[in-house]
Each structure stands twice: as C-alpha cells, then as structure tokens.
Amino acid sequence: MRFVLVHGWGFHAGIFVDFIGHLDGAEVTLIDLGFVAGGPKGASDWPSDAIAIGHSLGLLWLLQRRQGRFRALVSVQGFDCFCCHVAPSRVAA
C-alpha cells in the first residue's frame, strides 16, 4: 500500500513520524510544504495509486494541486476556513 502525507499550516512533515511507525510495510511519501525550513519538498514524487492523507491546510493543498490523482483521500482536521466569519470592521490589524 502507498501513502502520501501532507501536513498543515505552520507544521512540517515530521508530525507524521509516529503515525508512519504504524504503517508496517507501506511505501510512504512525505510532502513538506516548507513552513519551517525552505520551500516544498517531495511534491514531485507522487505515486498515482496512493492513499493521500491531508492534515488541515495539507488537505486543501492536495485538492488544489492533485485533484483526482489519488486512490483515496483522508482528511485529518481538514476544513476550508481558519477562523470564524466576522465583519471586516471587527477585524483588528
């Protein structure tokens, strides 16, 4: 079985280390979006029959860049909004 894992905003691919330990014998591709060190890494190595797992913003990244290019998609805390909706006049900058 093949898996592709993409972390969420403000994280790095290392958040999946413990999880990978439970995927005995699986081929795992980690995609690091570069929030901690540099730019995206691993995004070009994409097995077409993989089960994609996206954490938070990682899910949106998968949907935007790889729509339909995975065997299955798993969302871990995936959503399309990072805060509640408020009137612009209430936003303090």
2-6 and 51-55: which strand pairing? parallel
pLDDT recorded at residue 39: 60
Q: Six-digit token pair at 61? A: 């990244």
pLDDT recorded at residue 91: 67
> From residue 7, how far is each of 24, 59, 76, 81, 93 by CA, in Å?
20, 8, 9, 16, 27
Does the pLDDT value for residue 93 go beyond 60? no
Lowest mean pLDDT among 9-18, 19-28, 81-90: 81-90
Q: pLDDT digit string (tens) for 36-52?
A: 766 656 666 577 789 99
pLDDT recorded at residue 65: 79
DSSP 13: G
Residue 55 · residue 77 · CB < 8 Å: yes
pLDDT recorded at residue 83: 66
pLDDT recorded at residue 41: 63
